[in-house]
């Protein structure tokens, strides 16, 4: 079995197990059942969690659901927010999460962040909650388990098994990503910050039997893969209604006909289709600066300007 094929199978099996588990315990984040192979309810890598610590009891599920249903900015669908809402501590924490993703492939725990920053863990957890409310990351669902409140996803990075990995560096290390767009974003950030070339390992249309590698050279999708397609199912203004589902459906395909077949098979609506070259342009504008410090997210005005500049300006990408 190829490495990419094994990766996809792990993600698909995990997705089905996780979806059932989430339904059973009423977790705050719902996972989509289906073919996508992109998500499993797995935690941070073992080096990021103190498994000897007792499980933390956190506020009830309703608080997490409110985070998911509210927008970071009422006029941006949760994709952007007023930069003044980001505190220096929140920006520092987000920068450290990004750096850890690239260096270790996992997110630092709240305890690690508190130790490294020299601040109380309570302050770190409040900052993480603030980042989650701004849709700057996704925390593990509230509940009686050790990973509650720890970082689950910090786009463009994912900290659990997915069907997307970005390989880079002389040691050929890999970082996980939740979707094709985020994978292109990781590649853009690595190019902008470190002039790194990389390879995205995934599978065509989420099919574990069809692994594919997508080379990124000098910040561009190389060769014929530039004409492959990225399929965006969920409109931008709805992206954070359930961002896990949104990302799980952002897949790579060899052509538009393959997308039509996939939609018919899985009962998903056909969304916006872009070449990987076009998607790379937009991902570079969105994520290219993410390894710079201090971290910041685009404002609603910057998002609209980026969409217009890169041609993502149809109704599908409207923020209101």
**What digits encode the pLDDT tens for the residues 274-291?**
999 999 999 999 999 999
C-alpha–C-alpha distance, residues 106 and 48, integer Å:
7
Burial of residue 117 (CB within 10 Å: 0-12, 13-18, 19+) is middle
C-alpha–C-alpha distance, residues 177 and 153, integer Å:
9
Class of domain 86-154 as given by CATH = mainly alpha
Topology of the domain covering 160-308: Beta-Lactamase (3.30.450)
Rg for the chain (alpha carbons), in Å? 18
Pair of tokens at residue 181: 């767009």
Query: Element (H or E) spanning 302, and its range?
Result: helix 300-309
Pair of tokens at residue 89: 């501590």
Q: What is the pLDDT of residues 130-160, one digit of tens each?
A: 999 999 999 999 887 888 999 999 999 999 9
* Three-point CA angle 237, 242, 246, nearest 5°: 70
Q: Where in the chain is the domain with CATH 1.10.10.10?
A: 86-154
Q: What is the pLDDT of residues 157-168, one digit of tens each?
A: 999 999 999 999
pLDDT at position 77: 56
C-alpha–C-alpha distance, residues 35 and 15, integer Å:
9
Q: Where in the chain is the domain with CATH 3.30.450.410?
A: 160-308
Contacts of 305 (CB under 8 A, 6+ apart): none
pLDDT at position 198: 98
Q: How confident is the model at residue 76 (pLDDT cuts 50, 70, 90)?
A: low
Pair of tokens at residue 108: 């630092």
Q: What is the pLDDT of residues 189-238, one digit of tens each?
A: 999 999 999 999 999 999 999 999 999 999 999 999 999 999 999 999 99
Matching residue, tokens 């409140």 = 149
Closest CA to 31 of 13, 43, 16: 16
pLDDT at position 320: 82
**Segment 110-136 mean pLDDT:** 96
Bigger pLDDT: 122 vs 300? 122
The model's pTM: 0.79
């Amino acid at each position: 079995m190829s490495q990419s094929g094994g990766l996809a199978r792990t993600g698909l099996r995990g997705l089905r197990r996780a979806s059932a588990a989430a339904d059973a315990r009423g977790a705050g984040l719902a996972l989509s059942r289906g073919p996508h192979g992109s998500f499993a309810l797995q935690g941070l890598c073992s080096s990021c969690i103190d498994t000897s610590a007792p499980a933390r009891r956190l506020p009830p599920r309703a608080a997490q659901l409110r985070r998911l249903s509210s927008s970071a900015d009422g006029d941006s669908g949760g994709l952007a927010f007023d930069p003044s809402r980001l505190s220096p501590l929140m920006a520092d924490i987000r920068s450290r999460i990004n750096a850890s993703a690239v260096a270790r492939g996992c997110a630092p725990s709240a305890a690690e962040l508190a130790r490294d920053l020299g601040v109380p863990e309570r302050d770190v957890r409040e900052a993480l909650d603030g980042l989650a409310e701004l849709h700057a990351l996704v925390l593990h669902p509230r509940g009686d388990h050790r990973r509650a409140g720890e970082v689950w996803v910090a786009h463009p990075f994912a900290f659990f098994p997915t069907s997307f990995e970005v390989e880079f560096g002389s040691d050929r290390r890999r970082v996980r990503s939740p979707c094709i767009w985020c994978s292109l974003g990781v590649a853009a950030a690595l190019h902008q910050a470190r002039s790194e070339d990389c390879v995205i390992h995934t599978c065509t249309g989420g099919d574990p039997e069809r692994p594919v590698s997508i080379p990124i050279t000098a910040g561009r999708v190389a060769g014929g893969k530039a004409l492959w397609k990225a399929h965006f199912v969920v409109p931008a203004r709805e992206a954070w209604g359930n961002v896990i589902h949104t990302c799980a459906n952002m897949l790579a395909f060899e052509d538009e006909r393959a997308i039509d077949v996939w939609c018919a098979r899985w009962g998903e609506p056909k969304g916006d289709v872009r070449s990987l070259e076009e998607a790379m342009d937009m991902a570079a504008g969105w994520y290219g600066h993410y390894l710079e410090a201090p971290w910041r997210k685009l404002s609603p005005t910057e998002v609209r300007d980026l969409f217009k500049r890169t041609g993502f300006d149809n109704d599908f990408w409207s923020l209101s």
